[in-house]
Structure 1
Amino acid sequence: MNYKNETLRNALAAEYVLGTLRGGARRRYQKLMMESQLITETTWMWEQYLNGLGQQIPPIEPPPRVWQAIEKQLGLVKSDVSDNVTALPAPRERQPFIWQTIAGLATAAAIIIAVVLAPVAPPKTAPFTNIAVVADGEAKPLWLIEISSDTLQIKSTSNLTARTDKDFELWMVPANGEAPISLGLLPEGGQLTVSRPDWFKLATIAALAVSLEPNGGSPNGSPTEVLYIAPISAV
């Protein structure tokens, strides 16, 4: 299969994020993510898009019969010979968990319907125009950097191990071979949005780099220990 085909790549990435890509196909896709930066970036784009879509769906309270059916299946009610049921008191701590589960299933179903019924295409509403995925030696993404005309939005992932004795610093590597320019410290949890410098011109950048520095950043304005290099890709 030609995984460089844009339509196929987006379809597989969407299925992977939704969890509908299973079995051998899912294992092959995971292996492909380790081998291809393009596949990794596409998967990240769909994760951001679908997670945002799920957050926009308003919660819907299920009717009482849904809760009654769940109680019956969980054995929280008892029935007599005439099949009349008498509800037993349900522990209060169970209710939030069950309602969250129902809401989560409803959200997942709505997302799946939206993706299946809509033409497979990359997200069109994303405000960024370029991205860079900083990945470790095993191709596990550590940071996603989304570049728009005004900002750089940097998101850390759960694959990142935070350091208390060191800081991670982001650098722009000029295409003309000049010394790297610092873009600041990277977040080790959550996300950070910074203004895009006027001198940050994509045409003059070879890649982004991440270095390991003493707390507070580079002491001399140059990278101390370069750990990762991330190319910038157009969305």
Structure 2
Amino acid sequence: MKYDNARLTQMLAAEYALGTLVGRARQRFARLLQTRADLRRELQFWEARFAPLLASSKPVPPREVVWAEIEARIRRSTVTPIQPPVAPRGLWLWQTWAVAASAALVALSLQLYRYTQAPVAIAPPVAVAEPPAPYVSMLQAKGSDALWLVSVNAQKRDISIVAQGDYSLDAQRESLELWMIGDDGKPRSLGLLPLHGRGHLQMPASVPMPAKPVLAISREPHGGSPTGSPTGPVISSGPLLSL
């Protein structure tokens, strides 16, 4: 990964500040922070910019069923204390115990012998497939401080969006629409963008994941393009970069 790419490091720092950079990508970036002062400054910038958004997030208490399951597991894992043996009352008890112990010892010896003679089957190592790296893009509106940080999970076809800044738009009459530009150059709609805060979209099944994906934002009538293609001005575009 080219960590000297200014646009990529901006997106990585923003994702790290939001907590959406996960797995090995987050571990690599955390290691780079220890030696790269420029990345630490970039991270501080995004932490300050996202502070109002993160401060407005409210903690979500766990559901009652979660606590009930935890308590049930604790009860199931409770160990029953071992009762001390009752002292024998006569010699015949000792003799009976000795015979039973001898028989158990013989049986155990036979089992151990069979176990040591049997070949040990070693299971082959299971290859754990690493989940595919997410794609990210940072789209800033022309002539505005508004920007959208877009993360795409190509495997789950999930799209996470964080909107920052202010974009002048009559929300009663207009919408911002997100487009995926395919390898054939044709734009395909991904849905409407939020103007503020966080949003989530599901990539339509009809939209393939291009080899070199590019995103674009257009200004459309309220509810989105009536034709299935951009009809208004494109206010931002940029590549989706793999982490």
TM-score, length of structure 1 as denominator length:
0.48
Larger Rg: 2
TM-score, length of structure 2 as denominator length:
0.47
